[in-house]
A = this chain, B = another copy of it.
Amino acid sequence: MAQTLDTVFAALADPTRRAILQMLLEDDMAVTDVADPFEMSLAAISKHLNVLTNAGLITQEKRGRVKWCKLEPDAMKAASVWMQGFGQFEPVNLDAFEAFLERELGTSESPDP
């Protein structure tokens, strides 16, 4: 809910939390299922999920006795843009760029059959 650069970067600084985010990239998950692959207590995972929630990186919705975790990738936007300010490294990757152009703007150049 804070969703400042501080909270987002801090949340991303932990490998467990990054792994959780990547799992949620595939699908929404219940807390128990998020915890499953990790060798650590459920309570610990619950705390990690709180950190991610505070950073705005996920939202949690309780349906019945199960709390579903949903990825909120938009919360990375500000952090990503901040980094791009140092953008000597390619802003997105030219391939993605061209793909975007072709798809969204119809720059009929189609270099690939």
- Per-position 1/0 for A20-46, Cβ under 8 A of B: 011001000000000000000000000
Chief secondary structure at chain A's binding surface:
helix
- Per-position 1/0 for A61-88, Cβ under 8 A of B: 0000000000101101101111111111
User: How distant is A10 from chain B, measured CB to nearest CB, in Å?
Assistant: 4
Q: Is B89 within 8 A of A84, CB to CB? A: no
Q: Is B100 within 8 A of A88, CB to CB? A: no
Q: Is A13 within 8 A of B18, CB to CB? A: no
User: CA of A88 to CA of B25 in the docked complex: distance in angstroms?
Assistant: 10
Q: Is B92 within 8 A of A92, CB to CB? A: yes
Q: Is B80 within 8 A of A80, CB to CB? A: yes
